[in-house]
Amino acid sequence: VFVMKLLVILLFLGLLSGCRGNSSYSLTPQLLLVSFDGFRADYLQNYDFPHLQNFIKEGVLVEHVTNVFITKTFPNHYSIVTGLYEESHGIVANSMYDEVTKKHFSETNDKDPFWWDGAVPIWVTNQLQENRSSAAAMWPGTDVPIHNTTPSYFMNYSSSVPFEERLNNVTEWLSSSNPPVTFATLYWEEPDASGHRYGPEDKGNMSRVLKEIDGLVGDLVQRLKVLGLWENLNVIITSDHGMTQCSENRLIHLDSCLDHSNYTVIDLTPVAAILPKINVTEVYDKLKHCSPHMTVYLKEEIPDRFHYQHNDRIQPIILVADEGWTIVLNKSSLKLGDHGYDNSLPTMHPFLAAHGPAFRRGYKQSTMNTVDIYPMMCHILGLKPHPNNGTFSHTKCLLVDQWCINLPEVIGIVVSALLLLTLLTGLMIFMQNRTPASRPFSRLQLQEDDDDPLIG
Ligand SMILES: [Zn+2]
């Protein structure tokens, strides 16, 4: 009877949560994906963000997001929207060269779909759904016809367009388009630009810049409230990478190791992509002992954890500088802050915050991966994800419609339950052993009882 009752209660709870799920998703879900370029995870702990903290208080926060190697802008932005490592989506650097076609790619020469067609970004998948459209107030790749498709609404990339204009465009598209815009992006160049210029350890300048960014988050929330979008729109605020301090005292001079005529530098720092003009091993041997602050890899020996090997656009030799070190050629200039380093370094990690009907309220978790964002977004929008490197279960605790089973928590509960049980049993034995001492005549009878509860 008890089991039957339990089943009925469970069934009832299931129905109840099912109904709740349906009512909060009665409208087609909408998602706005925002990136503040170069927003290092620990800025959130070390600076004041009143607006962003309010946003987090009513939503979720992932303190550290492990991004993909190399920790550069274009590669990581494409991993966010495809769920793929760089070797799989093909945007393996901000500067690339394809030997077969002799094509070059750079931040200012990125419009050829050839570079992007190795993956299908979420705005394209969303757009192929009936009665849905996508919009982009900038994001790497959104002004390129990937698989012959651009978002229905997009802006050609220009760093000089103010945030206000991007915000006005994207919120207008989200609120009044037909078919409705269900997925949109918003991109902003800061705090990356200032991080490069001043270095992240310049507290004075960085606190000024980060205060401005917090103001922009305030503007975003305010605008969404005015337009009546705030309660129904899902908003993710994240970034592509962090930033670390560099110095003129930490330079690696490539020219001092090898004559420049022996190789072509496709990308320079902090991960150099080297295309040898002479024998690969010869170039490799000379670079191998160039600096103790740089690791030299033949393409075949790049560690598996980087997931950075199986693509023709990855050059035969790559050089990875240690954190804070800069690879230079004779004429190159130094930035005071940089990124691109090993993606296991905490300084390279961004954060992720989210708010809206799909997300829990007031929930924090310590980590997830950049590639996990894509399957989560597909789930929210009800899209079938393309094959990807992400793990949906890493994001289950962020979502209201998912059972959140956290393994360490479960282990904790089981262990404390066992401890409590042991304690209670011990206490019972102790009490029962005590009683006979004061009642010597009932001792025999009590000892018989004594075994029963333990065996039972
Ligand atoms: Zn960036």
Q: Give the pLDDT of residue 107.
A: 95
Q: Across the strands, what pairs with 456?
A: none
Contact 401, 21 (CB under 8 A): yes
From ligand 1's centre to the CA of 335, what distance in Å? 14
Q: Give the pLDDT of residue 430.
A: 86
Report whether pLDDT(188) > 50. Answer: yes
Asked, colleague to colleague, whether 20-246+342-398 and 251-334 share their fold, the answer is no
Is residue 431 very low, low, confident or very high in pLDDT (cuts 50, 70, 90)? confident
Question: Crossing angle, helix 443-455 and helix 407-438, to 10 degrees?
Answer: 170
DSSP 8-state symbol, 106: B
Is residue 407 very low, low, confident or very high in pLDDT (cuts 50, 70, 90)? confident
Q: Give the pLDDT of residue 336.
A: 97
Q: Give the pLDDT of residue 436.
A: 53
Fold of 20-246+342-398: Alkaline Phosphatase, subunit A (3.40.720)
Burial 383-408 (b: 16+ CB within 10 A, else e): bebbebbbebebbbbbbbbbeeeeee
pLDDT digits (tens, 9 = 90+) for 254-305: 999 989 899 999 999 999 999 999 999 999 999 999 999 999 999 999 999 9
Domains of the chain by residue range: 20-246+342-398, 251-334
From ligand 1's centre to the CA of 304, what distance in Å? 24
From ligand 1's centre to the CA of 68, what distance in Å? 12
Report whether pLDDT(374) > 70. Answer: yes
Report whether pLDDT(443) > 80. Answer: no
From ligand 1's centre to the CA of 239, what distance in Å? 8
Long-range pairs for 275-279 at CB < 8 Å and ≥24 separation?
Answer: 275/97, 275/99, 275/315, 275/316, 276/316, 276/317
Q: Minimum mean pLDDT among 124-133, 307-316, 400-409: which range?
A: 400-409
Is residue 455 very low, low, confident or very high in pLDDT (cuts 50, 70, 90)? very low
At the second CATH level, the architecture of 251-334 is: 2-Layer Sandwich (3.30)
Helix, strand or coil, per DSSP, at residue 381: helix
From ligand 1's centre to the CA of 37, what distance in Å? 5
DSSP 8-state symbol, 370: G
Burial bucket for residue 290 (CB in 10 Å: 0-12, 13-18, 19+): middle
Contact 376, 60 (CB under 8 A): no
Residues 227 and 250: their CA atoms lie apart, in Å, by: 50
Residues 207 and 228: their CA atoms lie apart, in Å, by: 32
Higher pLDDT, 250 or 406: 250
The question of whether 73 is a catalytic residue gets the answer yes
Report whether pLDDT(21) > 70. Answer: no
From ligand 1's centre to the CA of 73, what distance in Å? 4
Mean pLDDT (the chain) is: 91
Q: Minimum mean pLDDT among 23-32, 84-93, 121-130, 324-333: which range?
A: 23-32
Q: Give the pLDDT of residue 435.
A: 58
Instruction: Identify the active-site residue in 66, 71, 73, 395.
Output: 73
Q: Give the pLDDT of residue 16.
A: 42
Q: Minimum mean pLDDT among 233-242, 262-271, 447-456: which range?
A: 447-456
Report whether pLDDT(358) > 70. Answer: yes
- Strand ranges inside 67-155, DSSP E: 96-98, 103-105, 133-137, 153-154
Residues 134-154: what's their mean pLDDT?
Answer: 98
Q: Minimum mean pLDDT among 31-45, 248-262, 295-309: which range?
A: 248-262
Residues 195 and 202: their CA atoms lie apart, in Å, by: 9
